[in-house]
A and B are shown apart, each in its own frame.
Chain A
Amino acid sequence: MEPSRPFRLPGPGPALPGRARGLPGRAQLPPQPAPPAPRPSLAPLSTLLCGLGLGERPCPSLEAGDWPLGRGATGVVEALARPGPAEEEGGVAVPTCQRTRILWRGRGDALPAPPRRDAAVLSRGKPHTAAPSLHPPGPRPSLPPASAPGSPPAASRPVPGTKPAAKGTPLTVGLNSVKIHCQNDAVYQYHVTFSPEVECRSTRFAMLKEHRAVTGDVTAFDGSILYLPILLPQPVSVKAQRRSSGEEITITIQITKVLEPSSDLCIPFYNVVFRRVMRTLDMKLVRRNFFEPSQATILQHYRLQIWPGYSVSIRKKDGGLFLLVDAIHKVIRSDSVLNFMHTIYKQNVSSFQDECTKQLVGNVVITRYNNRTYRIDDIDWNKTPRDSFTLASGEEITFMDYYSKAYGITIRELDQPLLVHRPREKQMPDGKRRMDMVLLVPELTFMTGVPDIRKDSRLVKDVMREMLQSPRQHYVRLTSLLRRISDSPEASGELMRWGLSLDPDIHRTQGRVLPAERINLRQSSFIPAEDLTWNKEVTREASISAIAVNYWLLVYPKRLQGLAKDLVATMESVCGPIGMHISRPALVELKDDRIESYAKTIRSVLGSEDKVQLLLCIISSSREDLYAAIKKLCCVQLPVPSQVINAQSLMGQSGKMRSVVQKVLLQMNCKLGGELWGVDIPLKQLMVVGMDIYHGCSKGMRSVIGFVASMNHVLTKWYSRVVFQMPHQEIADSLRLCLADALQRFHEMNHCLPKKIVVYRDGVSDSQLDTVLKYEIPQMQKCFDTFENYQPSMVVMVVQKQISTNFYAFTAEQFTSPPPGTVIDHTVTSSDWQDFFLLAHRSRQGCSIPTRYICLLNTANLSCEHLQRLTFKLCHLYWNWPGTVRVPAPCKYAHKLAFLSGQVLHHEPSAQLCDKLFFL
């Protein structure tokens, strides 16, 4: 059975508006069409929400922004859709999130669900600025065409067209957006009243549908608001009969507004229309995107399929209506979850259940019998398909019988456990919270994404290779979709019913390339090469400042004795050029490489010595638990900067050791408080703040806020803090505290307070922008009162990486990624906010994805160009990468910090480390 649609389409084409995500007020779902959904669940509604894609998304992440990855690469990330490990430069994998341990069958029940996070840190679905406001019906004879009202944001938005033309090298840039032309003059909005009142929405639909002769076939109706592409003679009043009682109902259709066809109010049902277009082309809807399983690439060795697909949406931008298209992929296992469990069993008999839980929980599965996706939250080892559940009719039925009866599916293995999905908690009208549970049969579900990516990096590589698309390939896929639409009379006809037509090609517009930035080292400065990396320079020349390492520990297991010696020798030979002084370390040899050996020794050494500057550990292989144990000790309990190196990364060719050690040394210098490089910062008395949030992958876990603030004018000293956020808790309070502390510290170091504060806030979706504007910003501003007569100016920028905008450049008829520093601040920018797109990095593979910056507040009178240039400068300052990165360095630092604290430490790091980049 297909998933229910959020919009009612009363005819082959039209739809009802007003059920968009984030639109308030009409949070009703259209009635479920019969037969009942195969939902062995207690609460249909929330399952349904999930089916509609309204449920919580599985936590995204896997560091997408760390390295300059292209579209193809992050495509994997999207497809994998689960947190994975990040590489520390030393080659140590950071562990993935903790998972609930499931007890053995028969020894007890599955653990009760952990406390749930009832509200996201920022409530999703805040009133959207473009929420349709319905004018009360009344005699309004003539209405001029008006676009939908949007509440004006604080950052005053320049009138479109008057955006300042800024400096920079002009460059023609292709976008993955397609202009939509509106042929009609207007869309007409009507208010429909039923008298006497008809409560049942489906009855309203049915009654209005009977009057197609009046309204025409092309309608979008949500039960009270009706949109038509035609103007009806006013007033319209028609009769209907209530079948149950024979009562006569008068339906009055009264015009309320004449809208421009590109009005925001039309966007929701235009999107529904476009979904029909995609269906017409035989694309399969999975969650929110469309795929073509018949065009799958099959990776037999891994039992994986890669489905090509598209994410499409119609949006209103400054340049008018656009279709945003992205060519994407979905990775999906071609055998059932049950088969996958068998495979795990064969590999790992003794800890089979634990291993299953580890590899399955958090993954999204798709069912064989309908088109739903569910996230696995648990495995119930005590249940089997022989168990029963209650149907909506009240009938008790076993899973086995249910699937046989409803879908003709015979479940082969009757002893398999069941997968548990807990939909997002639903707030009931009476204020009570409801706990729901959906049980799924492993035999009938398929896993999407790649399980356990760490294990088989060859798999990841193979999958990536399949999904990687050059800008050219990406473009070809977009245009082939456009051609398919225009070649199908049915598909283009569907759009034409509302007077919409698509441009035959992607949209091209004028972008700018920002001037190159000068990189400053201690004695020299240089303009980096075109690809904006400077690895050579930083390993050959002295960093701005280097901390002399006089007393440090090297901890290693006995069998890595030789390697440890080599390491020390290499360090001595490479530290000179980068301006570091490194004394011989105190060697701490462990008898074995058990966690206890490390922990005990480290604890005793650090406990007796308080002058230790740094602790360097060599571990024999990438082990999450050992890494976590060391980091917990060194970041929380006995605070000292620490570095963990995976021995494997040091082995291999001799040249490799040298370059790894160079990187390790630079990283150690950062962790000790040294400064590697800088850029020219013309703004004086400036503080730059970066913020990001880490969400644990299991629900109900606390989210972690990473906060980083600059402490000097060249932006090379950073103060950092971490706040663990309880579910329910407002983020604003913590921000005020963090900012107040940072200002205090700034004053201590500079004997003055900053006059300008620029905040880069990562981890905010479009629907949360209002919350940031209305709650977070005022709270942050409140902390200025703590200081006497202190009124700094402030800029708040939201940073969005997970966007589907792509840039292409055309050089000599070739498609390439545009150069780093490319900016677009018009046409595809939002009509509600002041925003721009900046591509700061050079992606090594695939298409380049720019980052979107939204300016929510600007009391510093910084021009758009200044903001762009400052942002670009900050993208040069992430010391873990000698080149530009996707986001400003403070955001990247905040991300690293939050990730380490949330994923590894599960605790706030010690305040003693707050002035060092210990988290790199």
Chain B
Amino acid sequence: MDKNFQEERLTAIIKFTPPLYKQRYQFVKDLVGKYKPKKVVDLGCADCTLLWMLKFCSCVEVLAGLDICASVMKENMHRLSPLPGDYLQPNERSLTVTLHHGSVAHKDPCLLGFDLVTCIELIEHLEQSELKKFPEVVFGFMAPSIVVISTPNSEFNSLLPGVTSFRHPDHKFEWNQAQFQSWALETAGRYDYSVEFTGVGHPPTGMENVGFCTQIGVFFRKYPQTSDSAQSEKPTEAVYKTVFRAVYPSLKDEKYLQNAVVSEVIFTAQIIKRSLLDRLMSEHEEYNEDPTERKSEFQPSIKCFSEDLEKLVAEKGVEQFVNGNTVYIPLTTIFSFPKVNQLCGTFEKFCKLIAGKVTLSSDGSAVLVNTEHE
């Protein structure tokens, strides 16, 4: 976004690597990595870059963004859509990304129940009246366990060439460290939060007292999670407009889970069949080559991979049998494979998922594989 771009130019002489905006995002990403929130909302999400970075965090299941400008979100929202690859290997966790158009000065129930609220370079864009309502919306109404707020540190501006007043023409104010900290402490106190101050963009050596270029306050809620009943006492009308919503394919979704399980079952059955046939063949065959010599050329990882399977097959080897062109593989054998087991959880679920998708014996206890199907 322009904001980032301009700041980059400003700080050309005091050069931050990586660029300061990236450091801010990385700060949030590290915080997510540390506290593993499930539901994260970015207030003032603009071009959605932070949301895009956060969608790769495996703990996050609900991601939301809010911005006052719908067009900047619309321009960039498609980067939050699932990728074609996501459909090929659906994630284990579910993920929903939603973008809302609206103001942080208004309460909307769709932002209730979040674990982390991020406000990166947001508050300095708020008019006085909006800034006044902002703490009540975020700390009072949304009341997440963690809030991150970042804002420029005006003391640093003297080090930035070309900055006469504010870093961006849309900034309504820029605070020095004392101003920000007193606002933050006052807010934290009022809503029963604690606050820690930090920042990104270190000042040059010898000027440490200037502080970070971007100052950050991390707020932690001191009281335990609000109960559902408490939240339902805050009925509010929806005022935000949803501009984007993407539901990622996930193994939590029956359709994708079934695909994954059936695929795994067929794959496993093929491996068992092959090893069974190989064993039957080898009983009739002489060994011309020294098998160990051949194996020396394998790559270690691949060796592990296939030996693991062979071992597994060998362990269960007694159970399956060949009848004519058909190999019978008991469902219990297939279910005992870790991947299948892990996907389904229970044997009942396993049976339910593969019903009608895999050829079973008449009593439904074994998977049938045709030896000619090669």
Query: Contacts of B19 on A, CB cut-off 8 Å?
Result: 34
Q: B residues within 8 A CB of A245?
A: 162
Residue of B nearest to A209 (CB): B2
Minimum CB–CB distance from A739 to chain B (whole Å) comes to 47
Residue of A nearest to B256 (CB): A294
Tally of A-B Cβ pairs under 8 angstroms: 125
Q: A345 to B86: give the CA distance in the assembly, Å.
A: 26
Q: Any chain A CB within 8 A of the CB of B89?
A: yes
Q: Which of A153-161, A404-412, A900-908 contacts the other chain?
A: A404-412
Q: Is the CB of B5 within 8 A of A342?
A: no
Would you give the shortest CB distance from A710 to chain B, in whole angstroms? 48
Q: Which residue of B lies closest to A291 (CB)?
A: B84
Residues of A within 8 A of B297 (CB): 104, 350
Chain B contacts of A446 at CB under 8 A? 85, 88
User: Within the complex, what minimum Cβ distance (angstroms) separates B255 from chain A?
Assistant: 9
Instruction: Give min CB distance, A902 to chain B, whole Å.
Output: 33
Question: A202 interface residue, CB < 8 Å from B?
Answer: yes
- Residue A303 interfacial (CB < 8 Å): yes
* B interface: dominant SS: helix
Chain B residue at smallest Cβ distance from A408: B56
Nearest chain B CB to A463 CB, angstrom units: 16
Is B259 part of the contact surface with A, judged by Cβ < 8 Å? yes
| A342-B306, A346-B274 known; A368 vs B79 contact (CB < 8 Å) | no
Contact of B85 with A406 in the complex, beta carbons under 8 Å: no
Report A181-216 CB contacts with B as 1/0, cut-off 8 Å.
000000000000000000000100010000000000
Given contacts A279-B78, A284-B83, A301-B266, contact A345 B302 (CB under 8 A): yes
- In contact, A244 and B9 (Cβ under 8 angstroms): yes
Complex CA–CA separation, A293 to B82 (angstroms): 10
Given A202-B5, A342-B302, A416-B301, A282 contacting B17 (CB threshold 8 A): no
Contact (Cβ within 8 A) A342 B305: yes
Which B residues are in CB contact (< 8 Å) with A350? 294, 297
Of B49, B85, B267, the residue contacting A369 (CB under 8 A) is B85
Query: Contact string, B259-300, partner A, CB cutoff 8 A, digits 1/0?
Result: 100110011000100100000000000000000001001111
Contact A34 B49 (CB under 8 A): yes
B365 within 8 A of A: no
- Taking a contact as CB atoms under 8 Å apart, the answer to whether B56 and A407 are in contact is yes
Taking the closest CB of chain A, its distance from the CB of B178, in whole angstroms, is 28
CA distance A333 to B373 in the complex (A): 19
In the bound complex, CA of A401 to CA of B149 (Å) = 28
**Is B336 positioned at the interface, with any CB of A under 8 Å from its CB?**
no
Instruction: Check: B341 CB closer than 8 A to any chain A CB.
Output: no
Which of A202, A246, A291, A293 neighbours the largest number of chain B CB atoms within 10 Å of its CB? Answer: A293
Q: Which of chain A's residues have a CB closer than 8 A to the CB of B6?
A: 243
Instruction: With both chains docked as a complex, state the minimum distance between the C-beta of B21 and any C-beta of chain A, in angstroms.
Output: 8
Q: For the complex, what is the distance from the CA of A367 to the CA of B84, rounded to whole Å?
A: 9
The B-contacting residues of A in range 328-369, CB under 8 angstroms, are 332-336, 341-342, 345-346, 349-350, 352, 366-369
Does residue B221 face the partner (Cβ distance < 8 Å to A)? no
Is the CB–CB distance between A300 and B88 below 8 Å? no
Query: How many angstroms between the C-alpha atoms of A286 and B10 in the bound complex?
Result: 38
Measured CB to CB, the closest approach of chain A to B1, in angstroms, equals 10
Q: Judge whether B196 is part of the interface by a CB distance below 8 angstroms.
A: no
- Residue of A33, A333, A393 near B18 (CB, 8 A) is A393
B281 to chain A, nearest CB (A): 14
Is A559 positioned at the interface, with any CB of B under 8 Å from its CB?
no
Which residues of the partner chain B approach A284 to less than 8 Å between Cβ atoms? 81-84
**B75 contacts the other chain (CB 8 A):** yes
Chain B residue with minimal CB distance to A346?
B306
Q: Find chain B residues with CB under 8 A from A139 CB.
A: none
Known: A345-B306, A393-B17, A408-B58. A11 touches B79 (CB 8 A): no
Known contacts A303-B263, A334-B263, A393-B17; is A370 also within 8 Å of B75 by CB? no
Given known A-B contacts A35-B53, A406-B56, A369 and B83 have beta carbons under 8 A apart: yes
Give chain B residues whose Cβ lies under 8 Å from the Cβ of A305: 87-88
* B355 adjacent to chain A (CB < 8 Å): no
A371 proximal to B (CB < 8 A): yes
- Given A206-B2, A244-B12, A414-B301, CB of A34 within 8 Å of CB of B22: yes
Specify the chain A residue showing the minimal Cβ separation from B274: A346
> A334 touching B88 by the CB < 8 A rule?
yes
B71 at the interface (CB under 8 A from A): yes
Interface string of A807-835 (1 = CB under 8 A from B): 00000000000000000000000000000
- Contact in complex: A367, B306 (CB < 8 Å): no
By the criterion CB–CB under 8 Å, are A301 and B373 in contact? yes
A587 interface residue per 8 A CB criterion: no
Q: Which residues of B contact A34 (CB under 8 A)?
A: 4, 19, 21-22, 49
**B312 contacts chain A at the CB level, 8 A cutoff:** no
A282 to chain B, nearest CB (A): 7
Chain B residues in 8 Å Cβ range of A346: 271, 274, 306
Interface string of B166-183 (1 = CB under 8 A from A): 000000000000000000
Per-position 1/0 for B1-36, Cβ under 8 A of A: 010111001101000011101100000000000000
A272 beta carbon closer than 8 Å to chain B: no
Please give the distance in Å from A903's CB to the nearest CB on chain B. Answer: 28
Cβ-defined contact, B9 with A286, below 8 A: no
B126 beta carbon closer than 8 Å to chain A:
no
Instruction: Tell me, rounded to whole Å, the shortest Cβ–Cβ distance linking B180 to chain A.
Output: 24
Q: Are B299 and A415 within 8 A (Cβ)?
A: yes
C-beta contact mask, A388-399 vs B, less than 8 Å → 1, else 0?
000001000000
Measured in the bound complex, the distance between the Cα atoms of B259 and A350 in whole Å is 33
B222 touches A (CB below 8 Å): no
Of A12, A244, A303, A366, the residue contacting B71 (CB under 8 A) is A12
User: Is the CB of A116 closer than 8 A to any CB of chain B?
Assistant: no
B357 within 8 A of A: yes
Restricting to B68-115, which residues have a CB under 8 Å from any CB of A?
71, 74-75, 78-79, 81-89
Docked complex Cα distance between A24 and B222 (Å)? 63
Enumerate chain B residues within 8 angstroms of A341, measured Cβ to Cβ: 302
Q: List the A residue with the shortest CB-CB distance to B72.
A: A12
- Tell me the nearest residue of chain B to A373, going by C-beta: B84
B5 with A9: CB separation less than 8 A: no
Task: Compute how far the CA of A286 lies from the CA of B75 in the bound complex, rounded to whole angstroms.
Answer: 19
Sample 22 A-B pairs with CB under 8 A, ordered by A number. A11-B71, A12-B71, A12-B74, A34-B19, A34-B49, A282-B81, A300-B259, A301-B373, A305-B88, A334-B263, A336-B89, A342-B305, A349-B294, A352-B298, A368-B85, A368-B86, A369-B83, A371-B85, A407-B56, A408-B56, A409-B56, A415-B300
Apart from the given pairs A34-B22, A286-B84, A413-B301, 16 other A-B contacts in the complex at a CB distance below 8 Å = A11-B71, A11-B75, A12-B74, A34-B49, A217-B71, A244-B9, A293-B249, A333-B88, A341-B302, A366-B84, A370-B83, A371-B85, A393-B18, A406-B56, A408-B57, A446-B88
Chain B positions near chain A (C-beta within 8 angstroms) = 2, 4-6, 9-10, 12, 17-19, 21-22, 47, 49, 52-53, 56-58, 71, 74-75, 78-79, 81-89, 162, 164, 249, 259, 262-263, 266-267, 271, 274, 294, 297-302, 305-306, 357, 373
> Closest 4 A-B residue pairs measured CB to CB?
A293-B87, A415-B301, A368-B85, A408-B56
Binding site for B on A (CB under 8 A): 1-2, 9, 11-12, 33-35, 104-105, 202, 206, 217, 243-246, 279, 282, 284, 286, 291, 293-294, 296, 298, 300-301, 303, 305, 307, 332-336, 341-342, 345-346, 349-350, 352, 366-371, 393, 406-409, 413-416, 446
